[in-house]
């Protein structure tokens, strides 16, 4: 009986131990599973958080890009609007006709013969709406037109005569515009041997002493006034068969000098323009650089108070003065001749 009970106790202990081991194993497996699940959950949470952060970053970047795009579009639209408005304003300014668009300009022949007015007048008309009637004559004749009320504005180059014109009250608002120089030209054979002389008066003395042919404009122009000034400086009064007076403009006088193989005084703008375009003009430049040969041009409005019975277009004259002495006109003058002749034919005096 005792042996049976001892055997039963042993058997019971074995069963209890087996059950304990199984429970421990199950608990360990359960704990491991819980741990694994927790880790998986944590990893999932981390991944989700990362994804959320990336999404938020992408959204923020897209929002910023959209904002920048919108700002750029707004700026571009604003700039386009300004450009359109500016163009419209310029178009309106250039196409709005003045009350009295007809404007009579009396000017020296050199500005016409050189080709300057071929560029300057259309540019002025386009910018202002005025329409110019050009009368190209000598400076003296131009001032006579102004004195008689037959012109509205003058562009001339005879300073002493201009002073008298202003003093008599015929002209107002005189402004300097540009300058160039006079030169003495003649046949290449140079019978008076004046080539290389530095003083115009000395050259005139040599021409008269040798009785070489000299062609004078004798037309009351600024060029003729300068010629007389040089003769006075030389203390001489020209005359004789060798001294020929044409009464013509600069271009025509140069042609006569070519035909007669004579000397003449010319502004360098007309000289370069005709020398370039006229294959038959074989004269050569002989004397230049003397300060006495300086050649300034001025613009003058005809005084409407002198001609109360006439309709002097003073507003138009003022518009022309403002244009030719303003940035647009001065730039055009500065550039004129450079492309074709390699040098400017006139030098602006207001805006360098």
pLDDT digit string, tens, across residues 253-290:
999 999 999 999 999 999 999 888 766 789 999 999 99
How do beta strands 171-186 and 294-302 pair?
A: antiparallel
Q: CA-to-CA distance for 327 and 351, rounded, in angstroms? A: 7
| pLDDT score recorded for residue 275 | 87
Q: Which CATH code fits 102-348?
A: 3.40.190.10
Q: Across all residues in the chain, what is the average pLDDT?
A: 80
Residue 70 has pLDDT above 90, yes or no: no
Domain map (residue ranges) of the chain:
70-95, 102-348
Rounded to an integer, the average pLDDT of 237-244 is: 97
Q: What is the pLDDT of residues 175-220, one digit of tens each?
A: 999 999 999 999 999 999 999 999 999 999 999 999 999 999 999 9
Residue 309 has pLDDT above 70, yes or no: yes
Task: Please state the pTM of the whole predicted model.
Answer: 0.72
More confident residue, 70 or 182: 182
Q: What is the pLDDT of residues 132-166, one digit of tens each?
A: 999 999 999 999 999 999 999 999 999 999 999 99
Residue 35 has pLDDT above 90, yes or no: no
| pLDDT score recorded for residue 278 | 65
| pLDDT score recorded for residue 279 | 60
Q: CA-to-CA distance for 157 and 178, rounded, in angstroms? A: 10
Q: Is the dihedral of CA 104, 108, 111, 114 positive or negative?
A: positive
CB contact at 8 A, 200 and 178: no
| pLDDT score recorded for residue 47 | 33
Q: CA-to-CA distance for 258 and 264, rounded, in angstroms? A: 10
């Amino acid at each position: 009986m005792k042996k049976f009970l001892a055997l039963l106790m042993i058997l019971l202990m074995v069963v209890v131990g087996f059950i304990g081991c199984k429970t421990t194993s199950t608990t360990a497996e359960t704990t491991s599973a819980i741990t694994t699940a927790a880790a998986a959950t944590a990893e999932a949470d981390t991944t989700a958080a990362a994804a959320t952060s990336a999404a938020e970053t992408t959204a923020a970047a897209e929002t910023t890009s959209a904002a920048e795009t919108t700002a750029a579009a707004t700026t571009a639209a604003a700039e386009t609007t300004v450009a359109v408005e500016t163009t419209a304003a310029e178009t309106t300014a250039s196409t709005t006709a003045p009350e009295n668009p007809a404007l009579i300009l009396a000017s020296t022949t050199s500005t016409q013969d050189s080709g300057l007015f071929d560029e300057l007048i259309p540019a002025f008309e386009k910018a202002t709406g005025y329409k110019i009637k050009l009368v190209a004559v000598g400076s003296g004749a131009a001032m006579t037109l102004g004195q008689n009320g037959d012109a509205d504005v003058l562009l001339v180059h005879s300073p002493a005569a201009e002073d008298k014109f202003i003093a008599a009250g015929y002209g107002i608002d005189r402004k300097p515009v540009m300058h160039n120089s006079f030169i003495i030209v003649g046949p290449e054979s140079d019978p008076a041997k004046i080539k290389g002389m530095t003083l115009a008066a000395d050259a005139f003395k040599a021409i008269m002493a040798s009785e070489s042919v000299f062609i004078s404009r004798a037309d009351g122009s600024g060029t003729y006034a300068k010629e007389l000034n040089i003769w006075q400086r030389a203390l001489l009064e020209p005359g004789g068969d060798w001294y020929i007076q044409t009464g013509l403009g600069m271009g025509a006088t140069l042609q006569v000098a070519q035909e007669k193989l004579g000397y003449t005084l010319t502004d360098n703008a007309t000289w370069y323009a005709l020398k370039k375009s006229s294959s038959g003009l074989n004269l050569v430049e002989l004397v230049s650089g003397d300060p006495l040969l300086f050649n300034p041009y001025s613009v003058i409005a005809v005084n409407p108070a002198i001609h109360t019975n006439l309709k002097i277009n003073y507003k138009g004259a003022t518009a022309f003065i403002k244009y030719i002495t303003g940035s647009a006109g001065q730039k055009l003058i500065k550039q004129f001749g450079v492309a074709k002749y390699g040098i400017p034919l006139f030098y602006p005096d207001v805006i360098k």
